[in-house]
């Protein structure tokens, strides 16, 4: 057996093992009785929206948050020295419970910390200026804070109105993530909280400090800090939050490079949590994620070069038949049978089909939670075709950057 | 806050065994498909062999002239398919598998019978079929060259329906193949025989077509 075949089979086995484990954890997690705030117990909430040059989306964001059914909340818009009309648009919404601040540009972390200093709520939401939320999202998320060990709650993060191929691929990724995030929550192992919309207990900031302003992924650092102190981040799949995904390849690469670079740097800073002392998070969830990344990079890189090699072979062959495309192949039904046999008798293809069904199950769960019916059937093949290549590329770029650069810019 | 234990060791154990089960089921399905394909191709091969032996017997033993040209093209395609699928199955089950070895040997025998019949048919029915013998290898160091030449031959046969291709695994432990190699002085692969012309490792379809035309 070739070495690459062994590597693929090993990665498939690890993938199946992790999948079964997460499904079992999800089931066990659903059985666990949790404490939730009732409507009368809900504490005051402060929604902090840091904004920099968000004139195109800030109005939509503010309109969505004002439609929330949460009984007692305030909104603090922190304009971080925008050069466009962000401040002017936000000011139109200023009123009883929406306050707008302006400060010199200093980065998202500084804007969030500015907001925390002025916040009156016991629960702080950080919300991106291009995110929108369902009216029930805040209430459903805050209920989880009844349990004192919960310091943060994450929503059901999804892509808003995906159109381009890249956005549709990301949409599937986000939807599939809903199930996994709930499984991780069952294991008390959420180590990434989306900066686009997450909730935190204000007393955590008071006791352990606010956002790290020098960190390119301050939301990731916060999630790892919570874990390192053995507190809990919960997940609320009944709280949809919609974010805009990059539609162009370069934009997406820059975003993912920042995320994964930030994750590498933050994990290195918090490497102590990769140990048995941190339960399932340190023993399994993070190690498996790291191993999966390396498998993905190795296998995708191998197949990338193999495809190049096959293309070269094909060109040499076409040259051998004088580029007679019409007679390249002696076509008959035997060729179809042979192709189908080679395809479906290959265990790797069967594993891919298995994972495709798992993905569809994840997506059905997500759409049930979001109460949406979306035709994702066409997007699944796009996801299967492109995601592994994109994922490997993002990680390769991020790992290279983390070796050669101490820091990278936001944009 | 106190440090955490793993929630449930039992869950890891159960996950491992369930993963093993799923893994084995997938390999089982893959093996079963290969087994069913072997059964199917064995049946097809027997049917083709029966047809060839019957036609040959009618012509040789009963001296009846059956100059039906239309059957030849189909049988040639069928034989090529049997050969290719046997190579695929050999990769799945291994070179030493008895069933595969038997089928490849039988396949070589059937091919030689048909090759002989086509030569007779050309004489008897004044036909102009062009039998082409192709000796290939599945050895890792030679398989790419063999696949390249196989592709050239496939392209040639798609252009010319009179071309009949007979492929033989040069490494097959078969008396028939050994005798063929001796008869045509085959020592290396990939080698193509057209009439009395031996072409070793043709790089272009023209190298073969000049002997066909």
- pLDDT by residue (tens digit) across A54-70? 999 999 999 999 999 99
Residue A139 lies in a domain: yes
> Domain map of chain B by residue range?
14-212
Residue written as token pair 């007979």: B166
Interface of B with A in 55-84 (CB under 8 A): 77-78, 80-81, 84
In this complex, do A351 and B80 lie within 8 Å of one another by their Cβ atoms? no
CATH 3.40.50.2300 fits B14-212, yes or no: no
Closest residue of chain B to A344, computed from CA coordinates? B30
Residue A76: per-residue pLDDT: 97
* A386 Cβ contact partners less than 8 Å away, ≥ 6 residues apart: A165, A169
Average pLDDT over every residue of A222-235: 96
pLDDT in tens, A316-332: 999 999 988 877 666 77
Residue A44 carries which DSSP code? P
In this complex, do A345 and B34 lie within 8 Å of one another by their Cβ atoms? yes
Residue B121: per-residue pLDDT: 86
* A301 Cβ contact partners less than 8 Å away, ≥ 6 residues apart: A392, A396
Residue A409 clears pLDDT 70, i.e. is over it: no
Q: Is the peptide bond before B190 cis (omega within 30 degrees of 0)?
A: yes
Candidates A361, A135, A373, A370; CA nearest to A237 is A370
The overall average pLDDT reported for chain A is 92
Residue A205 lies in a domain: yes
A59: domain CATH number is 3.90.550.10
Of the partner residues A13, A328, A344, the one whose CB lies closest to the CB of residue B155: A328
Angle at A271 between CA A270 and CA A273, to 5 degrees: 80
Residue B78: per-residue pLDDT: 85
Which of B27, B73, B151 is most worth mutating to test chain A (most A CB atoms within 10 A of its CB)?
B151
Q: Which one is predicted more confidently, A361 or A334? A: A361
Q: Which one is predicted more confidently, A151 or A323? A: A151
Residue A368: per-residue pLDDT: 87
d(C-alpha A60, C-alpha A70), whole Å: 18
Residue A122: per-residue pLDDT: 97
Interface of A with B in 284-343 (CB under 8 A): 284, 313, 316-317, 319-322, 324, 327-332, 334, 337-338, 341-342
Residue A287 lies in a domain: no
Which of A24, A320, A347 is most worth mutating to test chain B (most B CB atoms within 10 A of its CB)?
A320
Residues of A in contact with B5 (CB under 8 A): 279
Task: Give the closest-approach CA distance of B6 to chain A in angstroms.
Answer: 4
The DSSP bridge partners found for residue A240 are A156
Residue B130: per-residue pLDDT: 92
In this complex, do A338 and B33 lie within 8 Å of one another by their Cβ atoms? no
Residue written as token pair 């599945």: B138
Residue A357 lies in a domain: no
Residue A97 clears pLDDT 70, i.e. is over it: yes
At residue A386, the 3 state secondary structure works out as helix
d(C-alpha B169, C-alpha B104), whole Å: 9
Q: Which one is predicted more confidently, A193 or A96? A: A193
pLDDT in tens, A12-71: 999 999 999 999 999 999 999 999 999 999 999 999 999 999 999 999 999 999 999 999
Residue A175: per-residue pLDDT: 92
Residue A349: per-residue pLDDT: 92
A148 touches chain B (CB under 8 A): no
Of the partner residues A12, A327, A345, the one whose CB lies closest to the CB of residue B155: A327
Residue A373 clears pLDDT 80, i.e. is over it: no
B126 touches chain A (CB under 8 A): no
Residues of A in contact with B37 (CB under 8 A): 341, 345
pLDDT in tens, A279-320: 999 999 999 999 999 999 999 999 999 999 999 999 999 999
Q: What is the pLDDT along chain B (213 residues), one digit of tens a residue?
A: 567 889 999 999 999 999 999 999 999 999 999 999 999 989 999 998 998 888 888 888 888 776 776 667 778 788 888 888 888 898 888 888 899 999 999 999 999 999 998 898 888 888 889 999 999 998 889 999 999 999 999 899 888 888 999 999 999 989 999 999 999 999 999 999 998 899 999 999 999 999 987
Task: List C-alpha distances in Å: B155 to B68, B159, B166, B195.
Answer: 25, 7, 15, 19
Q: Is the peptide bond before B171 cis (omega within 30 degrees of 0)?
A: no
Residues of A in contact with B29 (CB under 8 A): 350
At residue A36, the 3 state secondary structure works out as coil
Give the domain range for residue A223: 41-170+189-254
Task: Give the closest-approach CA distance of A210 to chain B in angstroms.
Answer: 20
Task: Give the closest-approach CA distance of B130 to chain A in angstroms.
Answer: 16
Residue B35: per-residue pLDDT: 93
- The token pair at A403 is 């070796």
Residue B76: per-residue pLDDT: 78
Interface of B with A in 177-196 (CB under 8 A): none
d(C-alpha B58, C-alpha B75), whole Å: 17
Q: How confident is the model at residue A96 (pLDDT cuts 50, 70, 90)?
A: confident
Interface of B with A in 32-51 (CB under 8 A): 33-34, 37
Residue A397 clears pLDDT 70, i.e. is over it: yes
If you count them, how many residues does chain A have?
A: 411
Other beta carbons within 10 angstroms of residue B120's beta carbon come to 13
Residue A404: per-residue pLDDT: 81
B10 touches chain A (CB under 8 A): no
Question: B42-64 b/e with 16+ CB inside 10 Å = b?
Answer: bebbeebbebbeebbeebeeeee
Residue A94 clears pLDDT 90, i.e. is over it: yes
Q: Could you give the number of structural domains in chain A? A: 1
B145 touches chain A (CB under 8 A): no
pTM of the model: 0.89
d(C-alpha B192, C-alpha B181), whole Å: 12
Residue A140 lies in a domain: yes
Contact B170, B186 (CB under 8 A): yes
Residue A121 clears pLDDT 90, i.e. is over it: yes
d(C-alpha B167, C-alpha B17), whole Å: 46
Q: Which of A344-358, A390-404, B74-88, B184-198 is predicted with the least confidence, judged by mean pLDDT? A: B74-88
Contact B162, B128 (CB under 8 A): yes
Residue A399 lies in a domain: no
Which of A232, A345, A356 is most worth mutating to test chain B (most B CB atoms within 10 A of its CB)?
A345
Candidates A370, A363, A338, A12; CA nearest to B20 is A12
Helices (H), A270-404: 279-280, 286-320, 333-344, 347-370, 379-404
Closest residue of chain A to B30, computed from CA coordinates? A345
Candidates A229, A169, A238; CA nearest to A388 is A169
Residue A337 lies in a domain: no
In this complex, do A20 and B22 lie within 8 Å of one another by their Cβ atoms? yes
Residue B83: per-residue pLDDT: 87
Question: Predicted ipTM?
Answer: 0.89
Residue A141 lies in a domain: yes
């Amino acid at each position: 057996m070739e070495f690459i075949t062994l590597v693929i089979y090993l990665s498939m086995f690890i993938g199946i093992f992790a999948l079964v484990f997460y499904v079992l954890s999800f089931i066990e997690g659903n059985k666990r009785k949790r404490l939730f705030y009732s409507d009368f117990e809900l504490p005051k909430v402060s929604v902090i929206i840091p904004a920099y040059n968000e004139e195109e989306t800030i109005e939509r964001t503010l309109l969505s948050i004002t439609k929330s059914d949460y009984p007692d909340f305030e909104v603090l818009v922190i304009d971080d020295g925008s050069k466009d009309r962000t401040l002017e648009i936000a000011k139109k919404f200023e009123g009883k419970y929406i306050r707008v601040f302006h400060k010199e540009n200093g980065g998202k972390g500084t804007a969030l910390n500015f907001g925390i200093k002025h916040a009156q709520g016991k629960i702080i939401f950080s919300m991106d200026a291009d995110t929108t939320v369902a009216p029930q999202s805040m209430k459903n998320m805050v209920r989880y804070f009844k349990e004192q060990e919960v310091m943060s709650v994450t929503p059901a993060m999804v892509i808003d109105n995906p159109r381009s191929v890249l956005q549709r691929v990301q949409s599937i990724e986000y939807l599939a993530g809903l199930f996994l995030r709930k499984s991780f929550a069952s294991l008390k192992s959420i180590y990434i909280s989306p900066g686009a919309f997450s909730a935190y207990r204000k007393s955590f900031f008071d006791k352990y400090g606010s956002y790290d302003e020098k960190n390119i992924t301050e939301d990731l650092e916060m999630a790892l800090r919570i874990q390192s102190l053995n507190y809990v981040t919960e997940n609320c799949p009944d709280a949809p939050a919609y974010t805009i995904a990059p539609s162009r390849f370069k934009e997406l690469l820059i975003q993912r490079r920042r995320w994964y670079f930030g994750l590498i740097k933050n994990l290195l800073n918090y490497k102590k949590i990769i140990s048995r002392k941190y339960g399932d998070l340190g023993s399994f969830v993070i190690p498996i994620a790291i191993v999966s990344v390396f498998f993905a990079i190795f296998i995708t890189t191998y197949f990338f070069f193999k495809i190049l090699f096959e293309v070269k072979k094909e060109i040499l062959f076409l040259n051998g038949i004088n580029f007679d495309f019409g007679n390249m192949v002696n076509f008959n039904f035997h060729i179809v049978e042979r192709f189908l046999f080679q395809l479906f008798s290959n265990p790797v293809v069967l594993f891919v089909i298995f994972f495709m069904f798992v993905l569809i199950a994840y997506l059905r769960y997500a759409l049930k939670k979001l109460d949406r019916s979306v035709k994702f059937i066409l997007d699944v093949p796009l996801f299967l075709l492109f995601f592994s290549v994109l994922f490997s590329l993002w990680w390769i770029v991020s790992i290279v950057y983390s070796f050669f650069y101490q820091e990278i810019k936001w944009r | 806050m106190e440090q955490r234990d793993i929630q449930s060791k039992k869950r890891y154990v159960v996950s491992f065994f369930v993963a093993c089960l799923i893994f084995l089921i997938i390999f089982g399905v893959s093996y079963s498909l290969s087994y069913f394909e072997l059964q199917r191709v064995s049946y097809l091969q027997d049917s083709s062999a029966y047809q060839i032996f019957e036609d040959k017997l009618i012509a040789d033993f009963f001296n009846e002239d059956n100059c039906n040209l239309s059957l030849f093209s189909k049988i040639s395609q069928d034989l090529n398919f049997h050969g290719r699928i046997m190579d695929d199955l050999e990769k799945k089950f291994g070179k030493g598998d008895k069933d595969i070895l038997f089928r490849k040997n039988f396949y070589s025998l059937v091919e030689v019978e048909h090759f002989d019949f086509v030569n007779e048919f050309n004489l008897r029915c004044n036909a102009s079929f062009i039998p082409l013998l192709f000796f290939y290898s599945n050895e890792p160091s030679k398989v790419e060259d063999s696949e390249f030449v196989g592709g050239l031959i496939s392209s040639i046969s798609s252009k010319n329906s009179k071309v009949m291709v007979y492929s033989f695994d040069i490494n097959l432990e078969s008396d028939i193949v050994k005798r063929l190699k001796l008869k045509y002085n085959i020592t290396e692969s990939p080698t193509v025989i057209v009439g009395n012309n031996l072409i070793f490792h043709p790089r272009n379809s023209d190298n073969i077509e000049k002997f066909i035309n």
